[in-house]
Amino acid sequence: MEETIEIDTENIECWGTDEVVCPHCGYEFSDSWEFLKNNDPDIGKITCDGCGMEFKCEGEYSIQYYSEKIKEGEKLMSLIFEEK
């Protein structure tokens, strides 16, 4: 007799995750960045590799900037290349 596994689909974390997660079974896709085409955040319809169900998905880009003071005598790589 085949054992059936119950999945609590009400509590699957699939919003704002680092990878695409199936809202039906919780399967987490690795390399989710491959779904993004032409910088379009609307990924569209995906068929889950875990359960075979379809769901829709959107991606979100996040850019962060880091800045710091230049120390006295420090040369930046961009300035070194410009000098050549």
pLDDT tens figures, 61-76: 777 899 888 888 777 6
Look over the chain and give the mean of its residue pLDDT values, rounded to a whole number.
82
d(CA 65, CA 80): 22
Dihedral angle, C-alpha 11, 14, 19, 22, nearest 10 °: 80
pTM greater than 0.85 (yes/no): no
SS (H, E, C) 35-47: HCECCECEEEEEE
